[in-house]
Amino acid sequence: MQPGDDTSISEFLLLGLSEEPELQPLLFGLFLSMYLITVCGNLLLILAVSSDSHLHTPMYFFLANLSFVDICVTSTTIPKMLLNIQTQSRVITYTGCITQMYFFIIFSGLDIYLLTVMAYDRFAAICHPLHNTVIMNPRLCGLLVLVSWIMNVLHSLLQTSIVLQLSFRREVEITHFFCELNQMIQLACSDTFLNNVVMYLAAVLLGGGPFAGILYSYSKIVSSILGISSAQGKYKAFSTCTSHLSVVSLFYCTALGVYLSSAATQSSHASAVASVMYTVVTPMLNPFIYSLRNGDIKRALKRILGVPVM
Residue 261 is predicted with a pLDDT of: 56
Residue 213 is predicted with a pLDDT of: 94
Residue 165 is predicted with a pLDDT of: 93
Which domains occur in the chain, in start order? 11-305 (1.20.1070.10)
Instruction: With a cut of 70, list the residues of the chain below it in pLDDT.
Output: 1-8, 252-253, 255-268, 309-310
Residue 302 is predicted with a pLDDT of: 82
Residue 257 is predicted with a pLDDT of: 64
Residue 194 is predicted with a pLDDT of: 94
Residue 301 is predicted with a pLDDT of: 84
Paired with 13 in beta bridges are: 91, 173
Residue 255 is predicted with a pLDDT of: 67
Residue 5 is predicted with a pLDDT of: 45
Q: Which pLDDT tens digit goes with each residue over 83-142?
A: 999 998 899 999 999 999 999 999 999 999 999 999 999 999 999 988 888 999 999 999
